[in-house]
Structures are given as structure tokens and as C-alpha cells.
Amino acid sequence: MKSNIKNLNSMIIGAISIFLIIIGLAISSNQNKPTEKVEQHSTDISNKQFIKKIAPLAKEDQKNYKISASITIAQAALESN
């Protein structure tokens, strides 16, 4: 009976150890990933310049995805401040 309890305790400790090793590896592998580069844009652009620059892309998306170009432009303006 005592050997069964010792075996069970050993199995539980082993499972917890393996779990902690896997978690540690997952955390360390995420820390080693290169950070994604974010494209920087000039803040000296007017609203008209912004719309003129993004309108062709928005129109193309409208053709491909059936989403109004004005919606795409508005969302882009929101996300870029």
C-alpha cells in the first residue's frame, strides 16, 4: 500500500515537473521572438492628404471585399489618430 502511494506521489511530482518545464520553455521562446516592426508615418499630413493617399487602396478593397471605401478610410483614420 505504501509503495503505491509513493509511486503515485512520484508520478504527480513528475507530471508537475514536466508541466512546469513546458510552461518555462513556452515563456522563454516567446521572449526570444523578434518584435514586429511598426511602420512610422509623418504626423504632418493633412486630412485631405491622408484621404488622397489611402483612397486608392480603399477603393481596391471595396472591389475585392464589398466594404465601402468610406468605411475603410474612416477606420484607417481612427486607427492612425
What is the 8-class DSSP label of residue 18? H
Whole-model pTM over 0.85: no
Model confidence at 35: pLDDT above 70:
no
C-alpha cell at 30: 516567446
Residue 54 in this model has a pLDDT that exceeds 90:
yes
Confidence of residue 64 (pLDDT cuts 50, 70, 90): very high
List of long-range contacts for 9-15, beta carbons under 8 Å, 24+ apart: none
Give dist(CA 61, CA 69) in Å, integer. Answer: 7
Mean pLDDT of all residues in 5-21: 77
Task: Kindly tell me if the per-residue pLDDT of 40 is higher than 90.
Answer: no
Q: What is the pLDDT of residue 15?
A: 75
- Torsion on CA atoms 46, 51, 57, 58, rounded to nearest 10: 140
